A and B are shown apart, each in its own frame.
Chain A
Amino acid sequence: MELFFYALISGVLFGIFFALVGIGLNLIFGVMRMVNLAHGDFIMLGAFGAWLIFNKLDINPLWSIPIEIVVFMIVGFFVYYAFVPRLSKSKDPEMLSFILFFGVAQVIEALAIFAFGNNQKSIPFSTLGQGSVTILSQPIPFAWLISAIISLIIIGFIYYYLYHTRMGYATRAIMSSQEEAASVGISVSKISAFAMGIGLSLAALAGVLAPFMIGSIDPSIGSSLTTMSFAIVVIGSLGNPIGTILGGIIYGIAMMFMQTYLASWTNLVPYVILILILLVKPAGLLGKKVRNA
């Protein structure tokens, strides 16, 4: 029973963090119908940002959050205007975006190796607070709790943006139909560029917390983070950013229970969940019908 509670609580905490990992990917897909295969590499960049702040400036890595929001918003605008308009005109934008962003992922990984080398980097746990807290008589590292709370706050902001601001309304209008949104006077490209910026910033912020949740970082962690994000997003449902929270928590709990009871098979979890969900309920657990297969 001890183990059970431990797995459950840490699963929920990790799940909230995983929701943050996936939500940016889902936002970009929902708005642009483009598959950002470089998502994991943006997370990796975010993580290195936090590492730089901590290592070179010697201040708390959480200070990188505001800096990274600004930087990745700008990167997002650049990425949007460089690729998306041209891609949308092509024969099969969704498929080609998949391949294009794969190329982007390769470029990012190569540049990150130039900049940071191939070695693993880490930030000590204690920078987010010493020791552990006791929840339901289980000792949980303080850093996990802080990371989960920060993730929850960021997701709260996204919820507020999407459901309580004018731009958020416009974003959701584009998600449900781009043509209709354009016909009522919404500037599709401006809102989409903004969504790309937010999506990449979210990836980067997940990256800031990654050293505390996932462990040490190196330039090659991007691709596995991308697959993980896909599993999370697909469980929740593609194109519905808030569904990602459910996806993250299910994924987190499944992961922790597997690690507790059947450790050597943990790596299989994301892939098996992903395939099963895609086959049984392709639109995801909270999904409307988004495509015709």
Chain B
Amino acid sequence: MHKKNIRLINGILLIVVTIVLFAILPKIYNNNYLLFNLMLYIALSEGLNLIYGFTGYLPFGYVGFFGTGAYSASLLILLLHVGVIPAILLGGVAASVVGIILTPLLRLSGAYFAIANLAASQAIYYIISNPHLENITQGPYGIMLSSVYNAAASYNAMLLVLFFALVLVLFFRQSRFGLSLLSIKEDSITASVAGVNVVLARTIAWLLSAFVAGLCGGVFAWYTSVFYPETVFSLNISIFAIVFVLFGGASTLIGPLVGTVILYGMYNFIGISTPQYFQLIYGILIILLVLFLPDGVISLFKKVRKYVP
């Protein structure tokens, strides 16, 4: 069989196994909350992977899209009485619209982009949580979505979003489009000489990445049903996603998945009861990763096998 087809099949198998596992697990394992959060962070990490892994832009304010999605979906449900599913989809669209507004940031490189993006997410947070907007966003007092609460349905919605995010990454990984993105990451001038439309490709990756985060936000809002601005704009969400991607290995399909399962599992084990120990271990882990394993744990497997999905 053609090598490329084998790789594609490997990727599809990985996605199917992941989705089936998360579909079955709630029946045997009753910590629904943990499973939901695992899915949420895998989807978010894969979404962040679209932009960081494939273009090299580090969106430190990725949580801005997540929060925008959560708030847009909730406000559509509460104020305009839109159905839950369309509201979540529109939440994703709203996040992409924010992405469009922020596209000029893509002109900045490296750390400048990361800082500007971080500032943008904080700006959105301060606008939404401003007490002057209490009539619309309820300001700092948070959102109550208990009227539409449905644990099982929102769990399945998350499963769908996870599926979508994984398929997107697989597409990026296997297609010409993904390859052109990687060439831009390597050297944007050479890529444009070779006929790649640098600005367009980058913008598409950026907006898709924002869309995934927006969807995650919307589903999170539905599942949690009561939340505050600082919950959905917590910088920790960005940081978790970035560290999961880095730990696993950026620009692969399996990397963020492995990273999330290991690290979020660890967080669940020690992070909730003793957060400062977790923070310490996390910090040390990040330092060691950057110094000794900048391509993630997956790079260890790459030494043995040439290709990992």
Q: Which residues of A contact B (CB under 8 A)?
A: 35, 83, 86-87, 90-92, 94-100, 102-111, 113-114, 223, 227, 230-231, 234, 238, 264-265, 267-268, 270-272, 274-275, 278-279, 282, 291-293
Contacts and interface: CB of A to CB of B under 8 A. Distances in A.
Interface in B263-284: 276-277, 279-280, 282-284
A96 B294 contact: yes
Nearest to A118: B276
B176 interface: no
A107 B246 contact: no
B218 to A, nearest CB: 24
Given A99-B58, A113-B276, A268-B127, 17 more contacts: A83-B287, A86-B291, A91-B294, A92-B56, A95-B114, A97-B111, A99-B290, A100-B287, A103-B282, A106-B280, A107-B279, A113-B279, A223-B235, A271-B120, A272-B119, A292-B109, A293-B109
Interface of B: 56, 58, 104-105, 107-112, 114-116, 118-120, 122-123, 126-127, 130-132, 235, 239, 242, 246, 276-277, 279-280, 282-287, 289-291, 294
Q: Which 8 pairs from chain A and chain B are nearest by CB?
A: A103-B286, A106-B283, A107-B283, A110-B280, A110-B279, A103-B287, A271-B119, A271-B123
Interface centre among A109, A271, A274 (most CB of B within 10 A): A271
B119 A275 contact: yes
B81 to A, nearest CB: 29
Contacts, number: 124
A109 B56 contact: no
Contact of B283 (A103, A227, A267): A103
A110 B118 contact: no
A188 to B, nearest CB: 20
Contacts of B286: 99-100, 102-103, 106
A289 to B, nearest CB: 13
Interface centre among A114, A234, A293 (most CB of B within 10 A): A293
A284 to B, nearest CB: 11
Interface centre among B104, B111, B118, B127 (most CB of A within 10 A): B111
A231 B119 contact: yes
Contacts of B283: 103-110
A268 B112 contact: no
Interface centre among B116, B239, B290 (most CB of A within 10 A): B290
B290 A103 contact: yes
Contacts of A238: 112
B132 A96 contact: no
A272 B120 CA distance: 8
Contacts of A278: 105, 108, 112, 115-116
Contacts of A270: 119
Contact of A268 (B116, B123, B280): B123
